[in-house]
Every structure is written in structure tokens, then in C-alpha cells.
Amino acid sequence: MEHYARLIPDFILSIGATVILLLGPLRDSKPLRDFLRWFALILLGASAVTLVVVNRGVDSRDLLFAFDWLTSAPLGVLFSLVFIGCIAWTVLAGSVPEDNAGEWYSTLLFVAAGMVVLARSANLMAVFLGLELFSIALYILIAFFYQRRAALRAGAMYLVLAGFASSFLLFGMALVYAHYGTVDIGEIRTAAVGKPMPYVAAIGFGLFLVGVAFKLAVVPFHMWTPEVYEASPGVVTGLIASASKGAMLAAFIPFLFLRATHWQILWVFAALSMIGGNLLGLREFRVKRILAYSSIAHIGYVLTGYLAGDAVSVGARFLPGITGVSAVFFYVVAYALAILGAFGVLSLLDRENDVTLRDLRGIGRRSPLLAFCMLVFVWSLASLPPTAGFFGKIYLFAAAVNQGYLWLPLLGLVGSAIGIYYYLRIIVHLFMMPSDASDIKVKSTLLQEWVLLATAVATIVAGTFPETVLSLMAWR
Amino acid sequence: MTTLLALLLIPLAGAALAGLSGHVDRTFPRVIALVAMVAGFVVSLALLAQVAGAPVTVNRPWIPSFGVSFSLYVDGLSAILIVLTGFIGILAVLISWNEIKERVAAFHVWMLLLQTGILLVFMARDLMLFYFGWELMLVPMFFLIGVWGHEDKLYSAIKFFLFTFVGSVFMLLALLYVYYQHLLQTGVLTFDLAELLKTRLTATEQWWVFLGLFVGFAVKVPLFPFHTWLPDAHTQAPTAGSLILAALLLKTGVYGLMRIAMPLTPQGTEMFTPLVIGLAVFGIFYGAIAAFPQRDFKRLVAYSSISHLGFVILGLFVGNASGYQGAVLQMVNHGLATGALFLVAGMLAERTHTRSFEMFGGLWRQTPVMGAFLLFFAFASLGIPGTGNFIGELYVIGGAFTFNPWLGVVAAFGVLFAAIYSLRVFLATMHGVESTAFKRLADTSTRENLALGSLAVALVLIGFVPSVVTGHLFLQPDDTVPAKGRDRATIASKSGVAPALPPALPGHAVPNGAHGSETSMNNQAHPAPEAR
């Protein structure tokens, strides 16, 4: 019974999502839409609180059920809280859809449910279940405004390609199971560490990596990113960039033992993404695609930190308190703040798609507050102080240097230097270009402005007091 | 300690208020900015009085896991520059009163943030804090040029940003390397300069570290091969931007060299000294020769800055007390005199909407007061006795002469070149055939007279009583000047100021071996016979 109690957060999310879905079609009125929004927020809050309560002080090896699907490991819980926060942010900052409000909030809650499962998965099955749960919800969200052809196209594209990638993932898992005879990640780790890996398992994990790399949009599996980012509703793009990738990373952290056998692949992924993503961004003039390419580069930085692993460096090391994992956690938080905010601002423009740099002109003059928020977000993406991105990158690279990786941080530095150019372009167009023919309008509610301002402030606070974020890692 | 925090918080609070007040009225941000700047200036004067006793410090933990602390340290040198910052800040607000008509609130917000960044750079003892301040200066200036600049503003703003940013990356790498070496040697995580000075670095390491820091700082100074952003940025910036750029931002580069690069890597400094001196001397002539044929008033003054800053760097790297004092004097004098020339250029441009010498000529009849001011500042710029520039250049040339007589001779010729372009500024605008393009230009207003007059008074004051600046140097045994101990101790006793001993600042007492044994600190702490 006690074990069932630990599923309460998941029950709240999935049952709540179903209830909202049923309530939605009742009546098409503004009060109902507003009610659904706050109801969704309350559900998310309740799930976050119960998540903390039921997992507090539980031995992380004490797995749930006979199936051993979910762990209470602090890091997984912490990541889950971050993703619930991202969903709550999206509920708050996204514009209320005129119709289908019920479906919108319900789907968002399903995304949260999937991510919460994925982040705490202890088992290959749970990885797949969580991944599919939120991916399917994301297909719907991408094509939510299905009247637009581009949205449908992007939804279908993501569906097909993600399905393709999932099949790789699943086949990889099957091979791994075939060799080790278990789907429990802990048992696999015990069996795999310190021994040469036979071909079956090595190939299995290789295919598994392909699936992961697709979800993370690592070069060379990044092709879907610009298209999907461009066509999705702004806030959904923010979710794909932040929480969706973050959840995959969170699920990937128990597989740190793969660094021993597959580090070359991860190394190449990281290097290609850092350089490729930034180079691709240079020629682009559509803002959402620029941010799409930048997100590819950012995953490269994160993989650099991932390669550093969870080993606490011994002796006098650069930033001894920082492990690769804690750096990755910090970066996921810092990046989520910045990219959610940036896409949040873009979603307020009255034309969602094909927004070019030119269209940004004059926004600095017409809505200075939002433009200032955008400045902070872009600044953080460019990793300049005093924003969260600065320490995020310092932590990642420091962790990598501590573990003897020197070339990756150097490549990362070169990549960041290239990236400065297109970030600067966004700022220049926002503030400094004369607004000639731009007809684009900014529509924002007071709530949205406050949410964005709060996000911008949080970005700066996390950049000036990074330890407050890191201290969360010590949570038990 | 409260003074330091107040100095940082006043412009920040001013920025917040100015931003909020923009909705109410367009004059509000100006008034708020002016009040904040004046308040900052008053506090900075109090600070100057305070440091005569002992350096003012703040030390609070900030990010312990990274060894970053909120550590401020202000001694005489910093205090002089902080007072200069406060003074220039007031003028910058005054001079923008009529010039800036668009987005007034945002302009003043950026200006106050810029002020905060500059003050942080002049105060920071913790190198990560210094880097924060360094980047904090970058953004506001980028916006001041890019939004309120003249016709080519975008190009100049981006060029300014990229140059400074790339430089700062090298600087950050060098700082991180020293931090890492210090960690390896002592196991202590710290970015505190006083602690990092104890790091033992081999000659090769020092060479590289100095190179990294030098690139970062020399871009800002700017020294000869890194200077190309400066004429563009100066020319395109609004008047207040040019003023702050010339008077303060360039000084942060010199300050970084003095405070961080040279003390951290004494051997590296020594190895680079011939090269840097060569670049500085070349810069003196290059700047002067490039300034002369310019058609654009502000561009001419910008090139003259390169020449003047060459003197500063020369004085700094000859490594004796005379050169050091001259460098500091020239930093202040250049800020005042060149700042004033930019102000005049801005005033003329505001009235005539051009900066081209070809359009000017014979304006004296229409604007005699401005002409008089221009005459004075042109003379100050060429170093006429009675102005601070004369004393500063004298000190620098004296220092160069001590270092190498021929160097002194060559540097002295630089002054001659300064005369040529400085006189041209005056002749091309005020003398000659009266320009037909402008009729009845308004002469300077009271506000403008106030700004120019205060600069002139300050220059004359330094010219006759240079100890208002130099008297604040060598008060404490600071670990910044690569000077011979005996030399400095002599000067300290000659200037009549009793060398005060600071309370034992942890880690501040003994810098690293090669360097510390030669500083006057040891002489003062344990009075050596020859020093008294």
C-alpha cells in the first residue's frame, strides 16, 4: 500500500489530465477556460508537493513494485520538479487557446506525466513508457493549431521521425535485454561495469544512443529541429527545447556507465553539435530557427559535461564541488529559464511563424519591457555574465577539464564565440534597427508580462547566486 | 565599507528609478540620473578622504564553491579614478540634457548601469567580480552607441562589442589559469587578487598569462594593433558616450594592466616590456600622425586618444616611480582634456548637425565663449605648462629618460606632434574664413559653461598642484607598481605624506617572491636605512 502511495503524483497528473479533457467540451466560455487553466496549475502544484512528500527520505534503492519501475533517487525527483515547473510556466505564459482549451491543458498535463515517469525511470521499460507518453502528447501540441499547414506538416514530421528513432531505441533495448537478461538499469550497470562489453550489448547500446541522440537533437540527428521549432506554437517550442530534452537527459544520467564503452561516440556528438549548431545558426535569418540551431549547440555543451560523469574529482581540481552531473542539472535549469523565456516572448508576436530578424525591428521601442526580457534571455543563451548561462557553461567545462577532457571545452569555447554573432544579431534587430516596414504587433496580457519579467529576474539571480540552484542538489 | 556599497548602489537605484519614471515624464529620468550622479560624486569625494588613512575594503563570501567573494579594495589609485568616474558621470548627464530626445529613460538607465560597471571594475579585488564589472560595462556602452549613435552606429557598436568581447575571453582564460595554478599549489579556492599574487608561476607560464591579460586590457586601452574599434566607436557614439568612453572606459584597460596584469606576472611583464614600450611609442606617433588629416572633429580627437594613451602605457612600463606617477596623471588629464574636446565637438554638432572641419571655420565671431574653451582645451591637449597634461607628460618623459635616455628623447618628440593636431582642431573651427553655412550659432549655455568650466578648473588645478592626484599614490604599500623599492620610498617621503600602514589585510602583506622583495612595502614595514 505504501508503495502505491508513492504513485500519487503520477495519479494526480494522469487522472487530472483526463478530468480536464472531459470538462473541456462542456461549454465554450471564458470562465471555463480560466477555470481549467487554474485547475491545471493546482494539479501541477499538488503533484509537485506530493512528489516531494512521498519521496522524501526514501532509500533510492527501494524500488517500486515487483516491476521496479520508478526510483526515489533525489536527482530524478529534482529533475521531475524542474519539468513540472516548465509545464506550469507554459500553462501560465501561453495564451489561452480560443477553442479546445480543455485539450490544450490536458495534453500539457500528459506531457508532465510522461516526463515525471521518464526522469525517475529505473528500468528500460519505464524509459520507453515515459518517453512515448510525453512524445505522443508533444505531437499533438506541435500540430495543435492544425488549421495551419506548416503545423500539421511539422507534427507529422516529428511523429514519423520520432517513431523511427523510437524503434532504434526499442531495438537497442531488446538487444541489451537479450544479453543481460534484465531490464533493470541498476542490474545492467552492475553487470556491465568493469568488463569488456560483448558485441550484442555494445550494438544494443549504440542503437539506444541513436534514439537518445535523436530526442536530444544532436548533430547528425538534428535535421528535424529547425522545421519543428519553426512550426510549433511558441511556448510548445520552448517546451521541446527545455523540458523534453531535459527529461531525456535525466533519463540518460543512469546510463553514465556507457561513458566507459561509448565515449568516442558521445565525444563526436558533443563536438559536432557545438561546432555544427553554431555554424548553422550563422546564415539563418528566421528567429525561431536561429534558436533551434543554438539549442543544438547547447546540447553539445551539455554532453561535454555529461562526459565528465558523476565522479567527484579528487585532489586540487578546478571547481572540486562540481561533478558533471551537477553541472548538467544546473545547465538544464539555466537553459530552461532562458529558452522558455525567449520562446515565450516570441509567442507573443501576433504572427507566430516565419518571424524573421527583420520583424523584430522596433519591438525595443514599442514594448521595452518584453524587449528587455528578451535581451536577458539571449544574453543567458550567449553565456555572458551576469546571467545563469555564464556559470552554467563554466560548470560544464570545468567538470570536463577535471576529468581530463581538454579539447571539448576548447571546441565549446570556439563554438560559443561563433554563436555570439547570431545572438548579437537578435539584439541588434530588436533595439537598434529602424523599424521600417514591420507590421508585426505584440499582444500580451499583464500576467504574461509579469511571468516573463519574473523569468528574466530569475535568470539573473541564478547567474549571480548560482549556488542556490546547486544547493538543491543536496536535497534528500 | 558603507561608502563602497553606497557608491555601487546609488547608480543602480538611480537606474531602476529612471527606468520606472520614464512613463511619467521625459524630464524625470534626467533629473534622477543627475541626482544619482551628483550623490555618487559626493560619496566618492568622501571615499577619497577616507583612503588617506587606510584602504577601504569589503570582503563577503559570494560563491564559496567557486572561490568567488564579494571583495572590494579601494586605495589611493582606485579612489582617484572613482572620483574621476563620479565627476565625468555628472558631466555626461548634463551634456545629454538637450542632445538625447529619444528613449530618454532607457538612455539614462544604460548610463547609470555603465557607471555601476565602471565603479565595480575600479573597486573589485576579486577577479571574478572584476570580470563581472568588465562585462557589465560592455552592454550599456554597446547600447549607447548602437541606439543613440550617429549614422554608422550599428557597425561601430558591433565592432566595439566584438573587439572587447574577444579580448575579455582571453583575459578570462588567463585569470582561470592563474586561479587553477593557485589551487594546485595551495588547495585554496579563491579569486582574490591578494591571494592569487602568491601563486608561483614559471617564466613560460607568466609569458602566456601576461599575453592573455594583455590582449584583454590592450584592446580596451587601446594599444596600437588593437585600436581600430576606437575611432569608429568614438565618432559614432553620442557625446556622453564619447565622453565616458574616452575619460573612463579606456582607463579601465590601463587600470587592469596596473592592478592585475603587471603584479600577477612580474617576469612576464619584464619579458614583454620592450614590445609594449615599442607599441606604446609607435602608438604615440601613429595616433598623432593619423589624427592630423582627419576631417571629422570627433575622429581626430579619437586618434589623439591613441597617442595620449601611448604616453600612459609608456609611463607605466618604464617601471619607475616617475613614469608611474606620470601615467596616473595622464590618465586623469586625458580624461578631462579629451573629454572636454568631445564635449565641444558634441556642442558644435548639436548646433550645426555636422562634425566635418570643412563645414566649420571662423566660428569664433559667433561663439566666442566656446572658442575660448576650445582654445584652452586644445592647448591643454598639447601639454602647455599650467595644465595637468604638462606635468603628466613631464613625469612620463622623465621616467622614460631614466629607463633609457634615447627613449625619453623619442617620447619627447611625441609632444611636438600633439601640438600639430591640437592646433589644427582650433584653427579649423574657430579661425579662418568664416563659414557661410551657419548664421548666428548660439554660444554656450550656462549648463554647457558649467560642464566645460569645471573641466578647465580641474585641469588647471592639477597643472599647478599635481599632488591632488599624485598625493594619493604611494599612501599605502600597494603591491601594484613594479617599481624599485628605494625609488618609491624616496618619493613617498619627499611628497611629505607619512606612509601609512594599512591594517593587516589577510594575504595582502606579502606578494610573491620576485616582486615583493622589491616593493616599498617591505621598506615601509621594516624601515630600511636608505629609505629614511
Distance of CA B257 to the CA centre of its chain: 11
A420 closest CB neighbour out of B65, B154, B165: B165
At residue B383, the 3 state secondary structure works out as coil
Identify the pLDDT of residue A450: 93
Least CA distance to A395: which residue of chain B?
B66
Residue B103 DSSP symbol: S
| Chain B residues with beta carbon closer than 8 angstroms to that of A322 | 65
Chain A and chain B share a number of CB contacts under 8 A equal to 61
Cβ-based neighbour number of residue B208 at 10 Å: 16
A317 part of contact set with chain B, CB < 8 Å = yes
Which of A396, A418, A424, A468 should one mutate to test binding to chain B, selecting the residue with the greatest count of B CBs within 10 A? Answer: A424
* A469, closest residue in chain B (CA to CA): B63
Q: Is A369's Cβ below 8 Å from some Cβ in B?
A: no
H or E stretch covering B155: helix B153-186
Taking CA atoms, what residue in A is nearest to B172? A394
Element (H, E) at B72: strand B68-74
Do residues A64 and A3 touch, judged by C-beta distance below 8 A?
Answer: yes
Q: Do B65 and A431 touch (CB under 8 A)?
A: no
Are B66 and A384 inside 8 Å of each other by CB?
no
Best of B62, B65, B147, B199 to disrupt the A interface (most A CBs within 10 Å) is B65
What does the block give as the cell for B245?
568612453
Q: Which residues does chain A have within 8 Å of residue B189's beta carbon, measured at their own beta carbons?
A: 319-320
Q: Which residues on chain A are in Cβ contact (under 8 Å) with B179?
A: 318
Interchain pair A413, B169: CB under 8 A = yes
A384 CB neighbours in chain B (<8 A) are 135
B-chain residues within 8 Å CB-CB of A386? Answer: 132, 135-136
CB atoms within 10 A of CB B295: 12
Nearest to B301 by CA among B219, B245, B368: B245
B contacts of A320 (beta carbons < 8 Å): 189
Q: Which residues pair with A70 in a beta bridge?
A: A121
d(C-alpha A267, C-alpha A365), whole Å:
44
d(Cα A31, Cα A54) in Å, to the nearest integer? 34
Nearest-CA distance A466 → chain B (Å): 7
CA atoms within 13 A on the CB side of B153: 22
CB contact under 8 A, A386 and B136: yes
Confirm or reject contact between B131 and chain A (CB < 8 A): yes
CB proximity B60 to A under 8 Å: no
Q: Which residue of B has its CA nearest to A425?
A: B158
Cβ neighbours of A39 (radius 10 Å): 17
Closest Cα in chain A, distance from residue B83 (Å): 26
Give the residue from B408, B168, B245 showing the smallest Cα distance to B311.
B408
Contacts of A316 in chain B (CB under 8 A): 183-185, 187
So what's the pLDDT on residue A437?
Answer: 61
Q: What are phi and psi of B194, to 5 degrees?
A: -60, -35
Which residues between 277 and 316 in chain A have a beta carbon less than 8 angstroms from any beta carbon of chain B? 316
**Exposed, middle or buried, A31 (CB in 10 Å: 0-12/13-18/19+)?**
exposed
- For chain B positions 177-196, those within 8 Å of chain A (CB to CB) are 179-180, 183-185, 187, 189
> Residue A60: what pLDDT?
58
Optimal mutation site among A377, A432, A471, interface B, most CBs of chain B within 10 A: A432
Tell me which chain B residue has its CA closest to the CA of residue A366: B103
CA distance A253 to A258: 10
Contacts of B212 in chain A (CB under 8 A): none
C-alpha to C-alpha distances, A455 to A193, A239, A376, B19, nearest whole angstrom:
41, 15, 9, 19
Q: Convert chain A into a string of H (helix), E (strand) and C (coil).
A: CHHHHCCHHHHHHHHHHHHHHHHHHHCCCHHHHHHHHHHHHHHHHHHHHHHHHHHCCCCCCCCCCCCCCECCCHHHHHHHHHHHHHHHHHHHHCCCCCCCHHHHHHHHHHHHHHHHHHHCECEHHHHHHHHHHHHHHHHHHHCCCCCCHHHHHHHHHHHHHHHHHHHHHHHHHHHHHHHHCCCEHHHHHHHHCCCCCCHHHHHHHHHHHHHHHHHHCCCCCCCHHHHHHHHCCHHHHHHHHHHHHHHHHHHHHHHCCHHHHHHHHHHHHHHHHHHHHHHHHHCCCEHHHHHHHHHHHHHHHHHHHHHHCCCCCCCCCCCCCCCHHHHHHHHHHHHHHHHHHHHHHHHCECCCCCCEHHHHCCHHHHCHHHHHHHHHHHHHHCCCCCCHHHHHHHHHHHHHHHCCCCHHHHHHHHHHHHHHHHHHHHHHHHHCCCCCCCCCCECCCHHHHHHHHHHHHHHHHHHHCHHHHHHHHHCC
Asked if B63 lies within 8 A of A319 by C-beta distance, the reply is no
Burial (Cβ within 10 Å: 0-12, 13-18, ≥19) of residue B411: buried
CA–CA separation, B156 and B161 (whole Å): 8
pLDDT at B527: 37
Q: Look-up: residue for cell 507518453?
A: A133
Give A4→chain B minimum CA distance, Å.
Answer: 39
CB B154 to CB A316 under 8 A? no
Q: What is the DSSP secondary-structure string of B480-519?
A: -----HHHHHHHHHHTTPPPPPPP--TTTS---HHHHTTS
pLDDT digits (tens, 9 = 90+) for A62-108: 555 545 778 878 888 899 999 999 999 999 988 777 778 888 999 99
Per-residue pLDDT of chain B (532 residues; tens, 9 = 90+): 788 999 999 999 999 998 888 778 888 889 999 999 999 999 999 998 888 878 888 888 888 888 889 999 988 889 999 999 999 999 999 988 888 888 888 899 999 999 999 999 999 999 999 999 999 899 999 999 998 988 888 899 999 998 999 899 999 999 989 998 888 888 888 898 888 888 888 889 999 999 999 999 999 988 888 889 999 999 999 999 999 999 999 999 999 999 899 889 988 998 999 999 999 999 999 999 999 888 888 999 999 999 999 999 999 999 888 899 999 999 999 999 999 999 999 988 888 888 888 888 778 888 889 899 999 999 999 888 889 899 999 999 999 999 989 999 998 888 888 888 888 888 888 887 777 777 777 888 888 899 999 999 999 999 998 888 888 777 654 444 443 333 333 334 334 333 333 333 333 333 333 333 333 333 333 333 333 3
d(CA B308, CA B338): 9
For chain A, percent of residues with pLDDT exceeding 90? 48
Describe the crossing of helices A324-347 and A287-308 by its angle, rounded to 10 degrees: 170
AA identity, residue B407: L
Cis peptide before A386 (omega within 30 of 0): yes
ipTM of predicted complex: 0.88
A58 — phi, psi (to 5°)? -85, 140
Residue B117 grid coordinates = 560597471
Handedness of CA A67, A68, A69, A72 (dihedral sign): positive
In this structure, are residues A100 and A146 in contact, taking their beta carbons and an 8 Å threshold? no
Residues within 8 A of A (CB atoms), B 106-125 only: 106
Please state, in angstroms and rounded to a whole number, the distance separating the CA atoms of residues A288 and A217: 15
In B, minimum Cα distance to A372 occurs at B106
The DSSP H or E segment spanning B61 is: strand B56-63
- In this prediction, the residues of chain A whose per-residue pLDDT falls under 70 are 1-2, 59-67, 313-318, 320, 352, 436-438, 476
Consecutive H or E run containing B243? helix B239-244
Using the Cβ of A224 and the Cβ atoms of chain B, whether some distance falls under 8 Å is answered with: no
Parallel, antiparallel, or unpaired: how do β-strands B68-74 and B56-63 relate? antiparallel
The pLDDT assigned to B486 comes to 31
Answer whether B103 sits within 8 Å of A365, measured CB to CB: yes
Per-residue pLDDT, A62: 57
Looking at residue A307, its amino acid is L
The C-alpha angle A444, A450, A455, rounded to 5 degrees, equals: 110
Q: CA B188 from chain center: how many Å?
A: 33
B158 touches chain A (CB under 8 A): yes
Residue in A with minimal Cα distance to B103: A365
Residues A20-61: tens digit of each pLDDT: 999 888 877 888 888 888 999 999 999 999 998 888 777 655
> For residue A367, which residues of chain B lie inside 8 Å, CB to CB?
none
| Cα–Cα dist A145/B292, whole Å | 64
Beta-bridged to residue A442, according to DSSP, are: A349
Cα separations in angstroms, A11 against A76, A133, A172, B219, B346:
17, 14, 30, 60, 68
Say which amino acid occupies A359: D
Chain B nearest-CA distance from A317, in A, is: 7
